[in-house]
Structures are given as C-alpha cells and as structure tokens.
Amino acid sequence: MLKAIAPLLVFMLILSAISKYESGAKNHFSSVVLLYAGATLIAALAAVGASYIFKIHLIFPQATKIAAKAPQDLGSVISNLLTSAVSNPIAAIVNASYLTILFWGLVIGFGLRHAHKGTKQVIADFAQTIERAAQFIIEFAPFGIVGLLHNSIATTGLSGIARYGQLVLLLVGTMAFTYLVVYSAWCSS
C-alpha cells in the first residue's frame, strides 16, 4: 500500500515545497544541496568499499527475467531518462516513475510560486493529508515485513534468511561507520 501512495506523496511534497519557496530568503538551500550531494557520494563510496570487503551472495529467483530487460548501453539509458522525464505526469504517478514525478513537481511548483496564498495553502494542506495517510500505512509495515519474511523463508529457506541478515548487518555497519567516523571527521574539519 505504501508503494501505491508514495508517488503521490513525493509529487505533492515537491509541489508544496517549491511553491512556497521565496527567492532572497535566508534558507541556505545551496549549502543543504551541496552537503546532501557530498554526504551521498561519501556514503556510496563507503557502501561500495564495504561490499567489496565483505562479500555477500544473495539468491534472486527472478533475476534472469529482469536482466533480459536491462539497457545495453549508456546512450539508451540517457535517451530513456530524457524521454521518460517529460512524459505524462498522471501516468508517472500511476506507474511510480520518480524522475517524471520530480520533473513535473518542479515545473508545476515553479508555476505555483506566483499563485495566491490560498492556493498554496490548499496544496500544503493536501500534501499534509497525504503524508498522514502514508504515516497510517507505515504503522502497518510490520505485517508486510512478516509476510515478506515468510515468503523468503518459503522460497530460499533459512540459509537465504541468514544471508539477508548478513546484508542487514553490513548495511547497519556501513551506516554506523559513515555517520560516526566519516561525517564526524568531515564536520570537525
């Protein structure tokens, strides 16, 4: 269910945030974007390094079907990205095409920057309503996790679950390393 409401939530949050943006205000937007990009790059490098040091082999039963649909070269990837970015925004929300949702959220949000305050408030209220619905759905996430766990045990057995446990430990360890070591060294300098 969260997978169904997430595209609409992302669209409305982008739309609301961009429409309320005021140029010239002290919002530190550029420094936030630079810190986010730098932190994401550092976290990605730490994750790749950890995955090479601690190799984990997972079993994906459907991997051969998905690999057959993968793009073959960089040109087709860029062409697909540019084509999908300007496609139908309603279809993007329905199909969860987040690049298209981001593109149209930014375009419509910039258009709404000159709208009346009442219009902006309606959009902010609608975004907050969808956010509350998503929070309600998230409260039921443990039931979905139990279902996924049951399916994984039925498909791969307990050894497959042990591999997923190793993956979770690797992820948590990498996050802890990045947060406690890398970010603290970065912020102290």
> Could you tell me if 112 and 119 are in contact, meaning their C-beta atoms sit under 8 angstroms apart?
yes
- Tens of pLDDT, residue by residue, the chain (189 residues): 678 888 998 999 898 888 887 776 677 777 778 888 888 888 888 888 888 898 887 766 666 666 566 677 788 878 888 888 888 889 888 988 888 999 999 999 899 988 898 998 999 999 999 999 989 988 988 888 888 888 878 877 787 778 778 888 888 888 888 888 877 877 776
Q: In whole angstroms, how large is the CA radius of gyration of the chain?
A: 21
Residue 60's pLDDT is what? 67
Diameter of the chain measured on Cα atoms: 59
Q: What pLDDT shows up at residue 23?
A: 72
The C-alpha atoms of residue 124 and residue 122 are separated, in whole angstroms, by 5
Residue 100 maps to a domain:
yes
- Amino acid, single-letter form, for residue 165: G
In a domain, 49, yes or no: yes
Number of domains in the chain: 1
pTM of the model: 0.67
Q: Structural domain of residue 76, as residue ranges?
A: 2-20+36-188
Reported residue count of the chain is 189
Does a structural domain hold residue 138? yes
pLDDT of residue 129: 93
Note whether residue 87 is domain-resident.
Answer: yes
Is residue 9 in some structural domain?
A: yes
Residue 121 domain-assigned (yes or no): yes
- The answer to whether 166 and 56 have CB atoms below 8 angstroms apart is yes
Residue 157 falls inside a structural domain = yes
Which CATH number do you get for residue 162?
1.10.3860.10
Q: Tell me whether residue 116 is in a domain.
A: yes
Residue 20 tokens read as 């309320």
3-state secondary structure of 87: coil
